[in-house]
């Protein structure tokens, strides 16, 4: 079996178990909508302030929803020791990581598809000037976030205080992603003049590093 085929099988398993309950997706969407509402209440924004703050608000919402999603992704495998079952499969263990990452990315993209347009509606802000760049940075940033996050979710699920530990490890590691993503998002709103291609590059490099490192290290993580 080729690596891609293995990943496809695992991914299909993930999707089916999600489709059965639809628990994760619906909860995540409700949660992120609540975050939107909270921000709307809490920050009284006028039009000028809005464009400065909106990129940050969007990314904070993504991160909250993402942490939610990541904490669930390996917790489900711990019930009935499903993780051991997965480890016994004749697969490279890194395939498990890749499948989980893609699944989390899919969930996040769906959630973003619902909430991000809502942000523009609720805050009464015209859409981003460069829609293409905006979509690219959204996808790239979310990928970096999920690539690091899925790995750390696996790590923390092996510890006692897993759900509390995960954000403590994750947030410092993704601050560089957050910094770069917010700057590029601002650029897509037409706020920063130049020099943002550097931050796109940083995001790409970060994405590559955090794809390669977890794949190398995942075997060590899942030893019995």
Partner 1 sequence: MTENTRTSLIEKVLAWSTFLAVFVALYLVLVYAPTEKTMGDVQRIFYFHVASAWVGMMAFGVVFVASIAYLLTRRTNWDTYAYTSAEIGVVFTTIVLLTGPIWAKPIWNAWWTWDSRLTTTLILWFLYLAYGKVRSAIGEEEKKARLAAVFGILAFVVVPINFFAIRWWRTMHPGALVTSKGIGLAPDMMLAFFASLFAFSLLYCYFMMRSVRIERMKAEIRRLKEGLFN
The footprint of partner 1 (CB under 8 A) covers 148, 151-152, 155, 158-162, 165, 168-169, 171-173, 175-176, 179, 198, 202, 209-210, 213-214, 217, 220-221, 223
* Residue whose CB is less far from partner 1, 15 or 217: 217
* Residue whose CB is less far from partner 1, 135 or 192: 192
Smallest separation (angstroms) from partner 1 to the CB of 218: 9
Smallest separation (angstroms) from partner 1 to the CB of 209: 6
* Residue whose CB is less far from partner 1, 73 or 115: 73
* Residue whose CB is less far from partner 1, 26 or 159: 159
For 21, residues 6+ apart whose C-beta sits below 8 A from its C-beta are none
Give the pair of three-digit tokens for residue 153: 């979710």
- H-helix or E-strand spanning residue 197: helix 197-221
d(C-alpha 50, C-alpha 39), whole Å: 12
* Residue whose CB is less far from partner 1, 129 or 159: 159
| C-alpha closest to that of 38 among 115, 141, 91, 142 | 115
The residue ranges of DSSP E strands in the chain, in sequence order, are none
Smallest separation (angstroms) from partner 1 to the CB of 173: 7
Smallest separation (angstroms) from partner 1 to the CB of 172: 4
46: helix, strand or coil: coil
d(C-alpha 75, C-alpha 143), whole Å: 21
d(C-alpha 98, C-alpha 138), whole Å: 20
* Residue whose CB is less far from partner 1, 24 or 141: 141
Smallest separation (angstroms) from partner 1 to the CB of 37: 27
* Residue whose CB is less far from partner 1, 4 or 164: 164
Smallest separation (angstroms) from partner 1 to the CB of 29: 29
Give the pair of three-digit tokens for residue 81: 């020791």
Smallest separation (angstroms) from partner 1 to the CB of 150: 12
- Looking up tokens 């995001």, which residue turns up? 203
- The two counts, helices (H) then strands (E), for the chain are 8, 0
| C-alpha closest to that of 155 among 73, 65, 60 | 73
189: helix, strand or coil: coil
């Amino acid at each position: 079996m080729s690596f891609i085929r293995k990943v496809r099988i695992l991914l299909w398993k993930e999707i089916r178990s999600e489709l059965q309950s639809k628990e994760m997706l619906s909860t995540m969407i409700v949660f992120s909508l609540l975050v939107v509402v909270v921000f709307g209440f809490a920050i009284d924004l006028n039009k000028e302030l809005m464009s400065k703050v909106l990129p940050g608000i969007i990314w904070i919402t993504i991160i909250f929803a993402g942490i939610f999603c990541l904490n669930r992704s390996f917790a489900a495998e711990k019930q009935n020791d499903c993780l051991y079952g997965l480890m016994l499969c004749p697969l490279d263990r890194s395939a498990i990581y890749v499948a989980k990452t893609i699944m989390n990315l899919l969930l996040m993209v769906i959630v973003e598809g619902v909430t991000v347009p809502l942000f523009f509606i609720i805050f009464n802000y015209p859409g981003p000037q460069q829609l293409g760049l905006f979509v690219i940075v959204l996808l790239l940033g979310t990928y970096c976030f999920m690539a690091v996050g899925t790995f750390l979710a696996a790590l923390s699920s092996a510890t006692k205080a897993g759900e509390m530990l995960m954000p403590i490890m994750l947030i410092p590691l993704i601050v560089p992603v957050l910094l770069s993503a917010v700057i590029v998002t601002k650029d897509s709103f037409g706020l920063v003049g130049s020099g943002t291609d550097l931050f796109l590059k940083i995001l790409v490099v970060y994405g590559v590093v955090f794809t390669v490192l977890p794949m190398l290290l995942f075997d060590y993580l899942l030893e019995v």
